[in-house]
Amino acid sequence: MRVRRMSSIAAVGAAAVICAAAPSTAATPTVHFSRIQYDAPGKDTSANVNGEYVKITNSKSYTENLKGWTVRDKAGHVYTFGSYSLPAGHSLWLYSGKGRDSGANLYWGSGWHIWNNTGDTAYLRNGRGTSIDTCSWPKDGAGYTNC
C-alpha cells in the first residue's frame, strides 16, 4: 500500500509540472503582428496614408480563416476582416489608407493615419473577440516596430 501512495503522489507531482509548463507555450500567438510601420515616411498627409501598415504573420502549420477578426488601436479605430484566409507560413499587409485589396495587400480604407507616432497599441482579436496579440511602441520610437 505504501508503494501505491508514493506512486500516486509522484503521478500528481508530475501532472502539476506538466500543467505548469502548458501556459507558457499556449501564450505564444501563432497568428501575430510581426511589424508595424506606424510613422509613414515624410510628413503625415492624406497622400501618404498607405505608408502606414501592419504586417500580420501566420506561423501555424495550417491556413487560418480571418473572417470577423479585427485590428484596432487605442482610439477605437477598427478594421474587420471579411472573408480572408491567411496560408500557413505567410503574411499579409494591412495598409491604413484606401486601395484595392489584392492577394496579401489589404486596405483599411481610412482617409487619414490610424497609428499614433507618439505611442500607441495595436490589438488583434479573433472573430469571437478574444485577444490574439498586441503590439505597442513608445513615443520616441523609430517609426516602426518589429513585434
Q: Residue 90 domain-assigned?
A: yes
Number of domains, the chain? 1
State the CATH number of the domain containing residue 113: 2.60.40.1260
Q: Is residue 84 part of a domain?
A: yes
pLDDT digit of tens for each residue in the chain (147 aa)?
334 333 334 443 443 333 333 333 445 579 999 999 999 999 999 999 999 999 999 999 999 999 999 999 999 999 999 999 999 999 999 999 999 999 999 999 999 999 999 999 999 999 999 999 999 999 888 999 999
**Domain around 138:** 29-146
Residues present in the chain in total: 147
Question: Does a structural domain hold residue 101?
Answer: yes
CB 22 within 8 A of CB 56: no
Whether residue 107 is contained in a domain is answered as yes
DSSP 50-87: GG-EEEEEE-SSS-EE-TT-EEEETT--EEE--S-EE-
What is the predicted pLDDT for the residue at 29?
73
In a domain, 11, yes or no: no
Tell whether 13 is covered by a domain: no
Which pairing describes strands 64-65 and 70-73: parallel, antiparallel, or unpaired?
unpaired
User: Is 67 within the bounds of a domain?
Assistant: yes
* Residue 47 covered by a domain: yes
